[in-house]
Amino acid sequence: MNKNKTILITGASGNLGAKLRKHLQDRYPIRLIDIDSRNEREIIQADLSIWNEEWVKLFQGVDTVVHFAADPDPNKSWDELMQPNIDAAINVFHASGIKKVKRIVFASSNHVMGGYKDKNEPKVITTDLPPLPGTHHTSHGRKHDSTPYGSAKFLIERLGKCYAEIYGMEVIAVRIGWNLHGENRPEDIFKGCEEWFRLMWLSNRDFCHLMERCIEAEVSDNFVVVNGMSANTGMRWDIGYTKKTVGYQPADDVTRG
């Protein structure tokens, strides 16, 4: 761990941002941005979908940006996702480029590969498979389709690849599994939950460890995509590459919770 690194977290008051902020607050100098500061002094309130030099200057001198800011609802429409998920990410990547940020850790999503839910093959979902955005499922009698959400996440992954090539920065896209709000224990998963979702669970402990490894690890390529799940017995998601690439060592397993 390099305490001289300055870390900027976008979406700092959201589920993932708040958990990582708590984990890192005594480990690194951190800067925090969110569209809703929730009256916390440490968090700078800013709408990242609107370019503004006031928030852009916060990227000066930052070593790593961890980009969580987005609408986290996978069932939203294109219209609802364009500003918070696409425009904001484009602005964050551009601000990082012009301010010479060394690394961006981007919260991508399992929904980039959600179409594999309804396919028996391949048995193992690796990050080098062709993307298949959009998870189709039924919940409480309603049909859901996350194609816009998953497609937007994949679009930003590709943007990250371009910025890594153009600016020479490092970009790690983490296809995060399922991290529930709060304590996020296996017993908190609702009864009747499909195995597809349950087996992509990512514990709070493993999430924080994974993010810290993405901040600290030396990577051989400027652009890397990794899966982010706990070590859940029986899941199709490959985390072997994640372990190898960033030194991830998950401690939890939803089937043993």
How much of the chain exceeds pLDDT 90, in percent? 93
**Tens-digit pLDDT profile for residues 200-233:** 999 999 999 999 999 999 999 999 999 999 999 9
Q: Do the beta carbons of residue 117 and residue 135 sit within 8 Å?
A: yes
52: left (phi over 0), alpha (psi -120 to 50) or beta: beta
Q: How many angstroms separate the CA atoms of 104 and 129, rounded? A: 22
In the numeric block, the tokens 């396919």 are attached to 119
Asked, as a colleague might, if the bond just before 122 is cis with ω within 30 of 0, I would say: yes
Q: Does residue 251 sit in helix, strand or coil?
A: coil
Q: How many angstroms separate the CA atoms of 158 and 101, rounded? A: 18
**Tens-digit pLDDT profile for residues 156-191:** 999 999 999 999 999 999 999 999 999 999 999 988
pTM, whole model, 2 decimals? 0.96
DSSP string, 14-80: SHHHHHHHHHHTTTS-EEEEES--TT-TTEEE--TTS--HHHHGGGTT-SEEEE--S---TT--HHH
Helix (H) or strand (E) holding 105: strand 103-109
Q: Do the beta carbons of residue 117 and residue 186 sit within 8 Å?
A: no
Q: Do the beta carbons of residue 67 and residue 7 sit within 8 Å?
A: no
**What is the chain's mean pLDDT, rounded?**
96
Give residue 2's pLDDT band: very low, low, confident or very high (50, 70, 90): low
Q: What is the average per-residue pLDDT within 63-77? A: 97
Q: Which domains does the chain have, with CATH numbers?
A: 7-256 (3.40.50.720)
pLDDT at 202: 98
pLDDT at 79: 98
Chain mean position to CA 7: 15
pLDDT at 1: 60
Residue of 223, 238, 92 whose CA lies nearest to 168 = 223
